[in-house]
Amino acid sequence: MDVKKLKGKRIAVLASRKVEEMSAIIRNLGGEPVVRPAQGTVYLDHSQLKDDIVCLLNHQYEWVIFTTGIGVDTLYKAACELEQGNAFIEVLGKMNIAARGYKTVNMLKKLGLRPIVRDDDGSTKGLVRMMEEHSLEGCRTALQLHGDPAPLLIEWLEKEKAQYKEILPYLHTPPETDVMEQLLGELLQDVYDAAFFTSTPQVRHLMMYADEKGHGEELRKAFESKVLALAVGKVTAQALHEAGIERVVFPQNERMGSAIVELGNYYHSKKDI
């Protein structure tokens, strides 16, 4: 059985974490990984976290929308540091909870909480689709993000005339400019067969940089013809689609290993045609 489904393929890895693990999987499938971090760093924002917890504990919201499991966990741990962990769970138990993604739902389950609304496909678009069954007009809503905008959710909340407040436990800093310059140049010069995106900030940073340098459309054309965009899951794939990149490969289960295997299967299927 041929397991070298990425033989001869050069893959740009845009992540900044777990790059050794991803690179090993790519090499095992015969590919050549090249690490080009397009996300920068992620850090905990202590400045607002305490105030956000206090607002939640003071019953200032009727709805809370969680978009990441790590966001749920971070807020809970912050409440525990204030010796309010049980109170945090109790307050959430009395609120209307909406959740995007299986990791978010699983983290809520660990706390004994169950969302009344969740996405139907793991994406923000899927969450909005399910949220449309509810009216949030005039409702005070906490929207937990992971340091990255959620334009679809915000657009829907504004259309609903909800009173929303963004909660950002983590913030993303931009990647190194010289790395972005090198990555953009290599993508335009057909150096890579594929680019592996593991988060939405990587999509945003790369496309914003390309647009600022006047190469946005050129890069989009490259992704449609020369370089294949690989996404870790549906959420990142959706971000690529929204950025104007239609040719995207991604797995049904959001896993780094699954995404790389899916890429190998894609190339292998092309050989059989």
| Residue 181 DSSP code | H
Nearest partner of 43 among 235, 176, 171, 201, judged by Cα = 171
Tell me: pLDDT of 45 over 80: no
Query: What's the pLDDT tens digit per position in 56-114?
Result: 999 999 999 999 898 999 999 999 999 999 999 999 999 999 999 888 999 999 999 99
Strand (E) or helix (H) holding 13: strand 10-13
pTM exceeds 0.85, yes or no: no
Percent of the chain exceeding pLDDT 70 equals: 95
Mean pLDDT of the chain: 91
**Which of 1.10.760.10, 3.20.20.10, 3.40.50.10090, 3.40.190.10 is the CATH number of 43-171?**
3.40.50.10090
Query: What's the pLDDT tens digit per position in 120-179?
Result: 887 888 999 999 999 999 999 999 987 666 888 999 999 999 999 999 887 777 889 999
CA of 167: how far to CAs of 33, 35, 52, 198, 211, in Å?
35, 31, 7, 22, 28
- Report the CATH fold assignment for 10-39+176-272: Rossmann fold (3.40.50)
pLDDT at 16: 86
Pairing assessment for the beta strands 32-35 and 10-13 based on DSSP bridges = parallel
User: Quick one: average pLDDT of 191-207?
Assistant: 94
Nearest partner of 41 among 238, 179, 166, 153, judged by Cα = 179
Query: Is 10-39+176-272's fold the same as 43-171's?
Result: yes
Q: Where are the domains of the chain?
A: 10-39+176-272, 43-171
